[in-house]
Amino acid sequence: MSMANRAAQFSPFAALTGYEDEVMETARLTDDKIELSDTEKERLDRKLRFLSDHLDERPTVSITYFVPDMKKTGGAYKTDTGVIKKIDSVGQIVIFYAENKISDGRSICIDMIVEVNCGLFRDVEFM
């Protein structure tokens, strides 16, 4: 018997194929989606309207938003930074310019946004 065949006799046997993956998936944690208060929603809306009025200045904006998990309840929060191309109030999305690897032309659903930060906000009160 060859050494390879002989070694195969003693290799570990996975009786439950995929079991380890399922255990790891179950153990993976997700975040719950934060429900904004009416005041927070209004503040966010004011920020987006302000940005919409200043898109010609091409300010750099950081948006924190919720990304639902495709396999289980909950999801994760992600922050993207870039220059906004358009705020589509009808389609309810924010679209970034495709200028660099961070902002690759992606769009973000306005309903998933929890925070917007921009240097233009320094001198403006949104409450």
Confidence of residue 103 (pLDDT cuts 50, 70, 90): very low
Average pLDDT over residues 6-14: 62
User: What pLDDT was estimated at residue 4?
Assistant: 66
Q: What pTM does this model have?
A: 0.74
Residues ≥6 apart with Cβ < 8 Å to 60: 81, 82, 83, 118, 119
Tens digit of pLDDT for each residue in 26-39?
667 788 888 999 99
Cβ neighbours around 47 below 10 Å, total: 21
d(CA 96, CA 85): 5
Instruction: Tell the residue number behind the tokens 């310019």, with chain if given.
Output: 97
**CB neighbour burial string for 68-97, b if at least 16 within 10 angstroms, e if fewer:** eeeeeeebeeeebebbbbebeeeeebbbbe
Confidence of residue 56 (pLDDT cuts 50, 70, 90): very high
